[in-house]
Amino acid sequence: MPFPLMCRFPLQFAFFLLLIAASLPIYKPQKSDDQRVPFSSVASSAEGNALFSALKRVFMSSPPTELFKNLTRITFYRHVPPQAQVINLPGAADEETVLKRDSAKTPPLNFTTAQTFHSAFPRQTTQFSAICSQPQQMGNGPYRIPRWFFNPSHSRCELFYWSGCCGNANNFQTMEQCQKTCEGMPLVNPCAFGTGQFLFCKPSTAPGAPCPGQQFCHVGDSPTTTICCNKPAAVDACQQPLNVGVGPSNLVRWFFFAPSAQCQSFTYKGLQGNENNFLSRFDCEQICQANPCAVGTPLRDQQGQIGFCSATQQNICPIDFYCHVGGDVKTSLCCPMMAGDPCSQPVNSGFGYYKLQRWFWDSISMECKQFIYCGQKGNQNNFVSQQECEMQCQPNPCQLPVEMPLQQCVPEPDACDARPNMYCHVGASPVTTVCCPAEQIDPCVQSVEQGIGPNQLERFAFDVQAQQCVPFAYRGLKGNRNNFLSQEECEVACLPNSCPSGSPFVGADGRAQSCAVSTAMSTCPNGYWCHVGANAATTMCCPEANANPCQLPMSTGEGPFRLDRFYFDLGSKSCKSFIYKGLKGNQNNFLSLRACQLSCLPLDNPCIGQPAKSTSGQVFFCSASNRDICPVNFWCHLGAVPETTVCCPGATNPCSVPLSPGTGNAGLARWYYNADERQCVSFQYNGKRGNQNNFLTQDECQLACPAELCLLSIDRGSCGGRQTRYAFDRQKSQCVPFEYSGCGGNLNNFLTMQECQQICGNVRI
């Protein structure tokens, strides 16, 4: 304030100084961290309103214009906390307004603003002002005031209309002011490669965002040095070396040190750094230290180095680890294997920002399908290509077509015997160890087939020319039956001599002649007996050693098999079970207890008549669960013991024969159908020589002889025979003859007209 004014208004000036002294707690002398504030800003603030009002009252009697003009040029100093950020904004009356960022919020970038300037004497900044990079803002007032703003996209000052309230600092009263502040200032190129686009950006944890193409967001010390720069090379950001850059700045940053797989701090100079440059430890670890494994942590060696792998080097991971192929180098590493077969795991897209085309094995449709993988936390049912998926989870490892779903098996003899003409294909994993269709050819004469696939499995095959078993490498898929796990197994199958003594009977082809179990007594020539081994190759005609097999001692034989067999024990005069090894046994070797009893014990015939026999003279034994084994016009007699449970001759319709308690003293609780009472009645069966009207339970009886059987339609059956039978005709309400084919049909089937009339004569429709 000019000295003459002090003399001219001493009272007023003294009061003015008193007010200033009272304001000292609010407006303090300038310190290193204070900001200079114009008088009008003080007056417009809450704490300055009282001061300004008091001044007006003091000077109201004769307020000289010059004094107020000079008062507007008085500069005060306000203490600003160090963390606050001050940005200068030219006001509507060519005065400064102070905008303070909320210190409670952590700013995304620690930019240093341009130097403050006085509105009457604006100072030029030596660098591109932070004001100039702010977007145009009209504010929210009611006016249309012509103003100028700097457009970074066009690199020039342009006219716009300000509303009179709010907005930002990129707001100038004149075009000259705008040009002097923003135009003509050289932009510093912060990029290490190329010139960049001067496309201002904001840092992001997503790779490449928000910059296009092969660029990254270089974060400098101001908006003008925070632009999209070209990436230095096709190298992952986390694998790039430390680059402190150049320039005058000292910015605390973080980089990923690949050898130790740790994020470390460093001081960045502000310009020409690389992509391995993060604002915080969190950002660094979020990008570079992610754990893509769904279970556990990645493999590390003794020095703590992470075990990396790739799509082309997946086999470098040790046992109990698999190669997780992520979207980049840092997420392609050895992860702990998960429980279970990878091909049976459900599809898992994981999470992350990548969109990777992958393949998985669909165990329901039995095929490989595509899915989108997000890059982390997936499972092992995740393949880079369809070929890799099919090689690991091949839908059909068999050489021939096979019905789905595949039946898994174990590599043991006769593993697929339950399925005719099938054999157990032993692959590299349980998924490819399945029952496959067998070609109708001796496996020992098939060529050596290496198959297809990525594996190298040691196997043995029979060489027909050399007449010996030779090793070969099997690739795991699409092989044939001339494929054995060991040399011994190969020799047992292709060079067998199952006979305990002598050589087997040889056919015209020079090979041992095989024999069938059901015709064991008829296929071998005189002087030979049928040795029944574990498979067709070990089932052959061997020289007889004794005409009576029941007098021979039990022999477990030799070989790798475990077969349930029976032998006759001379001491106890009974048949007993034993385990047969498959080769070199004698004739006292039977497939079942009944076969042993038939051969070595006299049959106690429970039938009225002779039981059914095979063409070789063997009696047909049956059971409650296997009655269909009995031929036509025979029924399964269920005796007290297996020896009396045989196929006996009898009528087709059990409900038409009378009650027969039989003979013996077994005292078995049974049920029969009473045709007169038309219901099932219990009785006691003596165990032998009964008839077909004999049921184990009441339900079984009622199921076989329903009261409505006469109302069943006439069914001639499904065979090709022609037999005269009688049935009740619902349309005619009487019994009529019909031609029965010999099998199938229903219970409305009687041997005689009398029998039909006895059962159905009283039926009324």
Domains of the chain: 215-288 (4.10.410.10), 314-392 (4.10.410.10), 422-494 (4.10.410.10), 520-600 (4.10.410.10), 603-707 (4.10.410.10), 709-765 (4.10.410.10)
Predicted pLDDT of residue 196? 52
Predicted pLDDT of residue 467? 67
Task: Count other Cβ atoms within 10 Å, centred on residue 107.
Answer: 11
Q: Splitting the chain (765 residues) into consecutive groups of 10 residues, what average pLDDT does each group show? A: 45 49 41 42 46 46 42 40 33 32 33 29 40 86 91 82 91 88 73 71 61 84 82 79 92 88 90 92 80 88 83 88 90 90 91 90 83 93 90 81 83 79 90 89 89 88 82 92 92 82 80 64 76 85 82 89 93 92 91 83 85 73 86 91 88 82 94 84 95 91 75 87 91 92 86 86 70
Q: How far apart are CA 554 and CA 723, in angstroms?
A: 49
With a CB cutoff of 8 Å and minimum separation 6, the contacts of 277 are 218, 219, 243, 253, 254, 255, 268
Contacts made by residues 309-314, CB under 8 angstroms, sequence distance 24+? 309/333, 309/334, 311/384
**CB of 23 closer than 8 Å to CB of 51:** yes
**CB of 182 closer than 8 Å to CB of 129:** yes
**CB of 694 closer than 8 Å to CB of 685:** yes
**pTM for this one?**
0.29
- Which amino acid, 453? G
Predicted pLDDT of residue 54? 45
Q: How far apart are CA 273 and CA 246, in angstroms?
A: 8
Task: Count other Cβ atoms within 10 Å, centred on residue 673.
Answer: 27
Predicted pLDDT of residue 431? 79
Interior CA angle at 663 toward 660 and 665, to 5°? 120
**CB of 183 closer than 8 Å to CB of 197:** no
Task: Pinpoint the alpha helices (H) of 393-465.
Answer: none
Predicted pLDDT of residue 73? 41
Reading the block at residue 593, the tokens are 């207890």
**CA 55 and chain centroid, separation:** 80
**CB of 8 closer than 8 Å to CB of 16:** no
Task: Count other Cβ atoms within 10 Å, centred on residue 138.
Answer: 18
- Which amino acid, 663? T
Q: How far apart are CA 14 and CA 3, in angstroms?
A: 13
